[in-house]
Amino acid sequence: MWAIGECASHDGESTGLVACTDRKLVVSDDARVLLGGVVVGDISLYSQLRPLLGRPLGADPSAFLAPEGGASPPSTDLPDDVVVCSCANVTAGTVREAVTEHGCRDVDAVKACTRAGSVCGSCVPMLTKLVNTSLQKAGVTVSTAMCEHVAMPRVELLATVRTSGLRTFTQIIAAHGTGRGCAVCRPVVASILSTLGVGHVLHPDQAALQDTNDHLMANLQKDGTYSVIPRMPGGEVTPEKLLVLAQVAQEFGLFTRVTGAQRIGMFGARQEQLPAIWRRLVDAGFESGQAYGKPLRAVKTCVGSTWCRFGVQDSSSMAVRMELRYRGLRAPHKFKVGVSGCARECAEARGKDVGVIATEKGWNVYVGGNGGFTPKHAQLLAEDLDGDRLVQVVDRFLALYIRRADRLQRTAPWVEDFPGGIDGLRAVVVDDAEGIGAELEAEAHVDRYVDEWRATLDDQDKLAAFTPYLNAPGSPDPDLAYVPLRGQAVPAATGQQGHPDIRVARTMKVQR
């Protein structure tokens, strides 16, 4: 076993950043099999090399370590036996066969043929890239159409709607599509209209376009009930508001837990109960946490210099500032933000779409991180910014992402695919190389924010959407059943006898 490494650094003329790229590959004695490696700085090779771990590289290892400007690294196509979809245990070879042997010509056809991407969906971005690459190698032109009803991709549709003045789905589809739309294009149009600040999600022109969760402004759970998650900027909540959460959870029998986004989630709310629950919460000063849909989810933070002896900046105040600024901002996909008060990184900012880490001189901002199926560390975009400059840079980044990302594309693959990589993105966002900085800032600042639940409670027509059975409006779903678990109640498993009232189920004796 031996290692090959290369390190190169250069000064960014316009930003003052010193970028260092450090690559090290650990290979077998014959230099053919990849055993491990370290990639620092430019991490674009990680996603290509990770599936090859323990496999032949297929080329001289030094070819992967060529400095910037040198020869392009060799192809790192996924081997046929690499599992692309772990839910259905579908390999890359099976996907390629679906394209070359079974005549599949798009991702949906491959899903139907192989079941890849049809369970949890987290592998769909990788699946899409693999299908498109296979089609191109087979000489087939890859369509950029959003669906059979809209011939253009989301990026073009957003630009068209933004400049044309079209403000309803009917107008948009009449001018730039065909038919009545589908489960792909209708939610995309709904998201675009929300991004542009056009109407409430339950407005008659938009309600029918919404995805499952946006339709009732709550996340649908496995048993048909919904979660209720109020916004708690910075994870902060007063004792008075905390008491209201406890009272609501107790009155409606809701399962409560602290979420990973530093909020309190309440589970088990029936459709018809949602308005009554939110009336209590809104009256207490809460607003929708938008744990549904594709907006900002939350800004995770530590206590920073306010309480922590290691904190160098007030991360809590910065997190609250950013959450209140970007709340309600809908994007191609959900996005998360983290703010850490020092380099100890307790808020795990580099695992977020936008990560902010305090320094003694100000703030470093990182972009393009996420967990999930393909975890990514966010990459450094700018460093030592004061508070106002930090917000300006984040404004520009989010607006550019909204403008140019594809449907359901997270920031991590978008940053990775951006022309010129992180350096190209830095030129546009930080240095304003395209001269659109002021325009982007105006779009990213959400000064038109209105709490969706408060607006709903004030409108009787919107409240009508929360009646589950028109012929029996006061009747709960008869299929609901709950059992006790650790002092609370949860949905009964298949074959398990439970009680339809979640409040009663909490006090049931556990059957052994």
pLDDT of 11 strictly over 70: no
Q: 78 versus 59: which is more confidently predicted?
A: 78
Exposure letters 438-468 (e unless 16+ CB within 10 A, then b): eebbebbbbeeeebbbbebbeeeebeebbee
Q: At what angle do helices 124-137 and 92-100 cross, to 10 degrees?
A: 40
pLDDT of 61 strictly over 90: no
Residue 158 · residue 192 · CB < 8 Å: yes
Residues 6+ apart with CB under 8 A from 242: none
Instruction: State the pLDDT confidence band at 124, using cuts at 50, 70 and 90.
Output: confident
- The per-residue pLDDT for 54 is 79
pLDDT of 453 strictly over 60: yes
Instruction: State the pLDDT confidence band at 57, using cuts at 50, 70 and 90.
Output: confident
Residues 300 and 438 in one domain: yes
Which residues, listed in sequence order, are joined to residue 267 by a DSSP beta bridge?
A: 227, 255
For residue 427, what is the domain's CATH number?
3.30.413.10
Please indicate, yes or no, if residue 258 is contained in any of the structural domains.
no
- The per-residue pLDDT for 15 is 44
As a whole number, the mean pLDDT across the chain is: 88
- The per-residue pLDDT for 67 is 54
Distance of CA 65 to the CA centre of its chain: 32
Please indicate, yes or no, if residue 32 is contained in any of the structural domains.
yes
Q: State pLDDT tens for residues 162-193.
A: 999 899 999 999 999 999 999 999 999 999 99
Q: Tally the domains of the chain.
A: 5
Residues 187 and 306 in one domain: no
Please indicate, yes or no, if residue 424 is contained in any of the structural domains.
yes
Instruction: State the pLDDT confidence band at 73, using cuts at 50, 70 and 90.
Output: low
**Domain limit, last residue, from 191, 210, 229:** 210
Residues 486 and 366 in one domain: no
- The per-residue pLDDT for 4 is 57
Residues 161 and 104 in one domain: no
Q: 221 versus 22: which is more confidently predicted?
A: 221
| Boundaries of domain holding 492 | 481-512
pTM beyond 0.85: the answer is no
Please indicate, yes or no, if residue 227 is contained in any of the structural domains.
no
Distance in angstroms (rounded) separating the CA atoms of residues 212 and 183: 10
- The per-residue pLDDT for 394 is 98
Q: State pLDDT tens for residues 425-434.
A: 999 999 999 9
Residues 44 and 87 in one domain: no
Residues 302 and 183 in one domain: no
Residues 96 and 57 in one domain: no
Which residues, listed in sequence order, are joined to residue 56 by a DSSP beta bridge?
A: 33
- The per-residue pLDDT for 41 is 61
Instruction: State the pLDDT confidence band at 266, using cuts at 50, 70 and 90.
Output: very high
Residues 310 and 438 in one domain: yes
Instruction: State the pLDDT confidence band at 357, using cuts at 50, 70 and 90.
Output: very high
pLDDT of 344 strictly over 60: yes
Q: 281 versus 20: which is more confidently predicted?
A: 281
- The DSSP line for 244-259 is HHHHHHHHHT-EEEE-
Weakest mean pLDDT among 43-52, 458-467, 493-502: 43-52
Please indicate, yes or no, if residue 377 is contained in any of the structural domains.
yes
Residues 497 and 358 in one domain: no
Please indicate, yes or no, if residue 175 is contained in any of the structural domains.
yes
Please indicate, yes or no, if residue 246 is contained in any of the structural domains.
no
Residue 394 phi/psi, 5-degree rounding, is: -65, -40
- The per-residue pLDDT for 114 is 94
Residues 309 and 367 in one domain: yes
Q: State pLDDT tens for residues 284-317.
A: 999 999 999 899 999 999 999 999 999 999 999 9
Residue type, 387: G
Structure tokens at 57: 């590289």
- The per-residue pLDDT for 10 is 45
Residues 332 and 440 in one domain: yes
Please indicate, yes or no, if residue 342 is contained in any of the structural domains.
yes
Torsion of CA 110, 112, 113, 115, to 10 degrees: 90
Residues 201 and 321 in one domain: no
For residue 93, what is the domain's CATH number?
1.10.10.1100
